[in-house]
Structure 1
């Protein structure tokens, strides 16, 4: 009697293997992580640039360097450091910082290009905007037009808002939709972003054209709308919207104090401690906090818009379709290899 174990019947079908993750996905994730970090660096450099721009404006150093794109006939990058003093120091430092931000923005656009979709075109828009901003700044020096100064200052803040949007949409958090927010908050958030930006434009008009009460009216509108957004988003528990809403509320309080202090220092005879230093620091801080408020409101408006970033959102459906297709192929192969068992496994409804 043979003791050999009967061999199992082999079929030409194999159990379908679970599809592996595409190799490109890891590279794409790393690329977007690099782009996100670069967006944050560019955002920080732009904050410094905005401060330097305010320093140039508030010290009257905008025309300390009379030529452009050269600096007293020198290549901008080769101007002697020994001659950088007073207004020349402020204005030339502003130009050098602008060049750094320009290079960072071009690098950011290149880093966003492989992501495709919305991120790619946001990167292109940022690159075009930073070039236009540099040209506007140069024309302001050459043509001596205050209108160009107003447009230059307003576009700088729009560029900051654009970088804030890129920083959010290139992050992993952008792939997860916001939960727990009132749908009506979307309209309020976008209205708040528009109000904050208009208020910044009114600030530029105040600086260069003296339109004080327009700026005061804009402040009232901002403080009427923005706290409503923060109140609706602080309790959502969202890892992005909730903390930014809390920080935004603090920034609003700080901005109110800075605005009142700047008004008293510039437009009244009330004594302010610190003298000229306070007169310089208050409007600079007021300008920077205004930029931060704009960036925060734009991030919140995008967060509640309900549209996750296209690149991240498109991966899950694509992989789901691959798994479903693989499963269908596997079941078809089993039916070809074992027609009887396949027929027996069907229910009467099939």
Structure 2
């Protein structure tokens, strides 16, 4: 009997020591930890990190319902707690992001891991570890907003943007690229880019040379090439192309900007034709003027010859003793 009693005392002392050690460990964890009774959701223990996280004093949360931890949303805090409790009853654990609220009403985000176990004092409890992820969520929101702005700029840019792999296939492109070439964006992805160039002196052949320069790591600036639309209509473009490299400095794809210069090239062609026409008209007019000059020069020669004849006749008249009538022409 005494041996049994002594063993019971030793087991109780061992249990107390284990509980004390566990309590000390939990109290010194960086994560916020609380225990809540499973039968009624009342908080029975909080460690200092948890109390500091939520802005409560030591022991101030004991005896309160766990719903005080949940920030109001489209669901009532008690409804959120009830949903989590339902999952715990079925699976024994729950984890995820949850919008909590501090004592002063400030909402903040936590990542929580909840599990159930039988506590020797409180019975079946939830043990929950909270990590404040507010800064991470805010950073993610800023990053997401930045990505959305970049995506909007990319998709709605006035110029076409394409990412082309070293194999010549299109990885990505924006909406303007599809509009420029008369394709849906999804139709352009995975296409061989050289197939989009025209069969003209400034088309496929020159584009293939540019692609080789890109593969060699050269940055291409304002290369004027001729592509063609889905319906075969030629379109002049100015291509700027640079390499995107991986961590090993290997080229993985291009960063390509395509500017539609068809209007400019058409204007240049019109100017060229006008210059040719003007030059032709100048040559024709010059020929006409030269002809007129030649005719006038011929008249002057004939007038000079006529004067000589008149002078000779005058001399003959005078030598015959006659007086010339009139003056020199």
TM-score bin, normalised by smaller chain: under 0.3
Q: TM-score, normalised by structure 1?
A: 0.23
Structure having the higher Rg = 2
**Higher RCO structure, 1 or 2 (CA under 8 Å, sep 6+):** 1
Q: TM-score, normalised by structure 2?
A: 0.24
Which has the larger helix fraction? 1
Which has the larger strand fraction? 2
